[in-house]
Chain A
């Protein structure tokens, strides 16, 4: 699939060649250091927006640059430049080199390209599709949402596509190249009923070309945005206090992402600041729980052929039958722990050094029919859709915000609820996952994960599960 020339050919238009790469890597190791790496990136993105019935705004964003990283032990020097002239790249390399203090090393290796899978084949590349073809997508969604219900008073649609390419060259002779497309569709809806108003959203994203925007996705984007908005008229804020929570299959994978995923990123453990720092090989969940972070799922938003250090994006089993098997690693942490990289070294752009990051995080299905899980709860809540979450890695406190759900009373879904945050302690919450459903769903939402000021696209998946007790941040009657 990948040839030596593919990446160099792509970046040749910016004056990048073998001579520049060698010169910059040598400069990066001019004060010694164990390792140096250049990460060239080019990204072209389009956003198109509809508001008040008209597709009347479009944005083109172009980003180009190279990041230079020098590693000396656990220490990192990083600099970037947005000018790919050889002198500028070498200057950035000299800046990154300050982390080391030793004798200069010449980079003389022969570059070789590793294998690269093809997890996001593109049928129609975005640079072949003009705005005129994109505009009807927004208009159709708008028309469908408006005609769905007379209570709908405002519809906003946003279309986004992005085509990123990166070329990585390191002092060990690795040359890696990937093109990472992204398609995203978001619909916002405001409705009015008896003088009361509500707003809600729905979105889809995937690593794919223009073929992502299918009729089915367009219809569902409109229908779901309307359904989720109208749902709120019948809903009230959930109750307050500790109680059982049933998480619906799909986007409730946000629980894994926040409650335990971040704590399993190896950099936090290397520094000893994660609540999972001394839990490797230990039982951290019930034996029917297996949790995976997976970069391999075709066209999934969190899929990566290779990570931003050139390692193949893999399927990494984090928790197997309740036991913590491995952390998620980047180069520095893999070396620190003496293990193979897991393909989790990701970065927002050439401006940032890579960090261990999640890809597509999910729990494998278990044995229990989902209806039995709901039936098992006397009084609690059923959480269906979510907007955001956050965690404090060390203390383990995490939150996620429920946009829609239901109260469960005597084993039945009753009153609709909305706008209720959940707070818990990650490891404790995982221990309290005591029923795992035999259903399973991946979520196709456009989730973005933030860490150290860097945002990367991720995905989630989950069967229906029950958490036996967790704090629900609603309101009780006075």
Chain B
């Protein structure tokens, strides 16, 4: 019997109980996961943390009304009592004619692909192995930063295995298992003026064998610390920006958020009425790729149980779809498009980051963002950042305490180049991006 069979059984039992109590329909999710994190600092183990989580959640549809319950107390009598409590709440609420399970035909057409999300080697990872990896990584970071005034080096190693099952009482059933591995390093360096910038790097994958090498992480972390030393301030003005692939999701997230059904139906979306219109530079082509083998965000079904399919979000800057889930589609009286994205695939350029920087000649390289926010109703964005001056096509002195501001629609209109270097450590898979004429504040 597969591990997920027990979870499915539990989900069916919870749904049957809810129906016995009088629920018309129910949606139940059951999950279980176990993982270990270790943190190694300055030559010794700092922290070992084991996580073993489980949970059950049940959504109830009764007489056109809706409530939900979630618990990690899975004793049968406890689950039954909480379900009864939630059911009692449901009966008191005002009706919501749009709350119901999706049309069952939406569940059909599930792709027959092995996403290969589960690496069985996770079960064989020992505490000694984690410790050795973390110690080796720490030692290598220390070696590479020997010429710097290092105050502290921390490395991390973690792995997780999880499984989940979901059923809807009108015919949906799904179960999946997955693993996740990561390695990280950060090095803090002290400067003469007391500032202590940190360089950090990370790799994360579903399969252990796919992880970036320790050498790459060590080099990346040290290079990022080194690059910040002696950071000065930037003159306020408009600049051409080269944004590091690791930081692009911060700008993309603000841009995509107003595509959601919730934002549209609640009339707080900048993108209302823009379907089929060009809302970004012709260089922006984004596809959702839910079936990427070993992909971090891969899934054969989405949050509503809809079978997932690869699809275009933007093509040459033209908006191809909103992200409307079943509930908000009913409220809006439109056909649902699926409320989530999984792994992004970009229309890539042909150049790597160094070549893009050389092409730009004069500008600012944005290495990271800090804080900030955006307004999804109107498009304003204002976010802290730091990076390096680009002069003569090369990275020169670092700058910090910089802020980027503008309108995220106009920002993505001003995209003038896309790299050929999608980030393998994130489901956003962002390449380096170049934007022209962006307002930066400094002194």
Contacts and interface: CB of A to CB of B under 8 A. Distances in A.
B47 A78 contact: yes
Given A56-B94, A197-B378, A476-B236, A394 B198 contact: yes
A421 interface: yes
A240 B235 CA distance: 10
B370 interface: yes
Interface string A290-318: 00000000000000000000000000000
Nearest to A400: B371
Contacts, number: 277
Given A99-B48, A397-B384, A401-B372, A57 B95 contact: no
Given A54-B96, A82-B72, A420-B405, A351 B53 contact: yes
B68 A132 contact: no
B266 A421 contact: no
B52 interface: yes
Contacts of B238: 478
Nearest to B236: A241
Which among B54, B65, B380 has the greatest number of chain A C-beta atoms within 10 A? B380
A423 B370 contact: yes
Given A60-B68, A197-B378, A388 B371 contact: yes
B372 A399 contact: yes
A353 B405 contact: no
Interface stretch (A172-180, A207-215, A273-281, A364-372): A273-281
A15 B149 CA distance: 53
A61 B384 contact: no
Interface in A420-463: 420-425, 427
Given A60-B85, A64-B73, A241-B442, A190 B386 contact: no
Nearest to A388: B373
Nearest to A258: B371
Interface stretch (B104-112, B136-144, B347-355, B395-403): B395-403
A471 B197 contact: no
Interface residues of B, number: 82
B93 A131 contact: yes
B401 to A, nearest CB: 5
B45 interface: yes
A232 B380 CA distance: 12
B92 A401 contact: no
Given A153-B267, A242-B443, A394-B197, A418 B72 contact: no
Interface string B44-82: 111111111110000000000111111111100010001
B228 interface: yes
B52 A81 contact: yes
User: Which residue, B48, B71, B228, has most C-beta atoms of chain A within 10 A?
Assistant: B48
Nearest to A95: B50
A410 to B, nearest CB: 22
25 contacts: A57-B96, A58-B86, A60-B68, A61-B70, A63-B73, A75-B44, A75-B47, A76-B49, A82-B72, A132-B92, A237-B380, A240-B439, A240-B441, A241-B236, A273-B196, A353-B49, A388-B373, A391-B370, A393-B198, A395-B386, A396-B195, A399-B372, A401-B372, A419-B375, A472-B441
